[in-house]
Structure 1
Amino acid sequence: MQRRFVLAAIAGLAFTLPFATPFAHAQQPGERALRLSTTTSTENSGLLTYLLPSFEAKHGIKVNVISVGTGKALELGKNGDVDVTLVHARQLEDKFVAEGWGVDRRDVMYNDFIVVGPSADPARLKGEKDVISAFRKIAGANVKFISRGDNSGTDVMEKGYWQQAGAKPAGSNYVSAGLGMGEVLNMAAEMNAYTLTDRATYGAYKARTGLAIVVEGDKRMFNPYGIIAVNPDRHKGVNYRGAKLLIDWITSPEAQAKIAAFKPAGEQLFFPSAQR
């Protein structure tokens, strides 16, 4: 009798397991949606709109996206206002982790920065491969440059280029916008100005702005992205379980293949870089 009971229990377990497995990672009762802070480039380019539905369908977890500059995205993590962050400023990311605010950082993908400007190219930059030389030319010409001015990853890179160039546009020729990348590209088009942008956001705004790429290909313009979970030891209320699931998924072969396949207008904008 006891043996028959054990066998029946095993059979029942075997029957229920296949049905339980697909829901093993589903959003738990009382678990809130996952809060992701990220850069304007991943949002403006359309990448997250393309990627996240697959994660949400697979794991049954809703992702709420907060799109800001990298500095603000990391600040939201420090404050415990988000659960996970996807950004592109390696020095700021390493500092965030070293100070104990973030854990489980992983490489996700990369693209590159480019300098864009009016098609007439009044500073005569077209074909320039040295970004520092190009910035010196902009500083010496009577042309406008629009800066993000928002402590984003792009803003941090731009400030570093001006420092290396040893010069910057004077007076009203340098406009600190304090805005996201898409808005800055629109401003540059309206003001006949140059700006530094990531290639992905430029690709999404190229048709509406008419801006042309004038500087590209310098290895100093490499732009890697990383994902980091907010440290649950610092903020007990964060959804670390959901953050870890997103980190594991976005660095998986499935998601990495989707990143490589994201080609608006036929052009690949991000290149997968996760190490398994």
Structure 2
Amino acid sequence: MPIHRRGLLAGIGGGTAVGLAGCTALGGDDVDSGPEIAGETLTLSTTTSTYHTGLLDELNVAFEDRYGVTVDTVPQGTGAAIQTGRSGDSDVVMVHARSQEDEFMADGYGINRREIMFNDFIIIGDPDDPAEISGGDDAVEAFVRIADSESMFVSRGDDSGTHTRELEIWEEAGFEDGNFGEWYREAGGGMGEVVIQTGQRGGYTLADRGTYLSMSNESDLEIHVEGPVEDGPEILANPYGIFAINPEIHDTVDYGLAMAYIGFITSLEGQAIIEGYTVEGEQLFFPEALTEDPNFEQYVPEGWDGSDSNE
């Protein structure tokens, strides 16, 4: 579904009934009616973009206050965050690379995935724009021009969601074998580090809009190709998902606490926090769990009925 800039549906401020593509916070306003989770610690593996933008500080404090729990956040690239969940070292995972998420679900390690929010990717770079891509509306053509001009491109190179999308665009541009020249540099770091390196080197990079906006005072890089939040190409769409680790695979995970967290993130309160979070007046993420046409599709491993988890 195309992504466009929009406000949160009128159920948050209004009172209009709105479907939840997920579950509401367990216990609602009556914490005593929910599971006994007070005093527990939730381990969340997630992307550097959600962590370094400050959004998780807002979400996690509200969740901790509601349930009397602690959230231990492990910020990593998407690939590393998923691997942390695969090894059973986190209870819940929040990432933004659908191809990697689907593989994880198909392997049976994750359950109850929910769409929670989106922003978009943008192509940013030196204000001088040596590849002459500024103002274009074709991300693939922009990458072709960067390669043809041998302008420096700084890649995450870390199997993150941003790196995954970058490689997909390069493949569309005819570089499916990774046959890059010396102009292509792999930073192997988080998004914030890559933005700083790109500014220092005077090149281009693919960034998520939230991280770029949150670092606007630390770099003179400019947006040259917009994503779909500003009516750019859909290939730059950046949806985020959240899912619990399957307790049938790892019986050490706190499944009840993970589902309470997913419920809170997809609730009216959680989505309102996402909607209202800004940096210097700019909204960084757009809530996606509230919809008038909910999709309750469950990502549950084939043959798993959860009967053992209720014993």
Does 1:212 pair with 2:222? yes
In 2, Cα distance between the equivalents of 1:200 and 1:169?
A: 30
Q: Which has the higher contact order (CA 8 A, sep 6+)?
A: 2
Return 5+ residue gaps in structure 2 as ranges.
1-29, 227-231, 295-311
**Secondary structure of 2:216's match?**
helix
Aligned residue in 1 for 2:31: 22
Q: How big is the shift at 1:89?
A: 0.7
Aligned residue in 1 for 2:260: 245
Aligned residue in 2 for 1:153: 161
2:115 pairs with 100, 107, 119, which one? 107
After TM superposition, list the pairs within 5 Å mapping 1:227-246 onto structure 2. 227-246=242-261
2:239 pairs with 219, 224, 231, which one? 224
Does 1:133 pair with 2:148? no
Structure number with higher helix proportion: 1
**Secondary structure of 2:145's match?**
helix
Q: How big is the shift at 1:170?
A: 4.1
- Does the CA contact (< 8 Å) of 1:140 and 1:169 recur in 2? no
TM-score (norm 2): 0.79
- Does the CA contact (< 8 Å) of 2:85 and 2:245 recur in 1? yes
Residues 44 and 169 of structure 1, relative CA distance in 2, 3 Å threshold = farther
- Does the CA contact (< 8 Å) of 1:70 and 1:152 recur in 2? yes
* 1:235-268 alpha-carbon deviations (Å, 9 max, x no partner): 0010111100000000001110110111111111
Aligned pairs, number: 256
2:102 pairs with 94, 98, 101, which one? 94
Q: Give the structure with higher Rg (CA).
A: 1
2:46 pairs with 30, 35, 38, which one? 38
After TM superposition, list the pairs within 5 Å mapping 1:191-210 onto structure 2. 191-210=201-220
**Secondary structure of 1:122's match?**
coil
Deviates more, 1:163-172 or 1:254-263: 163-172
Alpha-carbon RMSD across the aligned residues, in angstroms, is 1.7
Deviates more, 1:100-109 or 1:167-176: 167-176
- Does the CA contact (< 8 Å) of 1:27 and 1:61 recur in 2? no
Identity value in percent: 44
Return 5+ residue gaps in structure 1 as ranges.
1-20
Q: Which amino acid is the alignment partner of residue 253 of structure 1?
A: L
TM-score (norm 1): 0.89
1:83 pairs with 85, 91, 101, which one? 91
In 2, Cα distance between the equivalents of 1:219 and 1:117?
A: 20
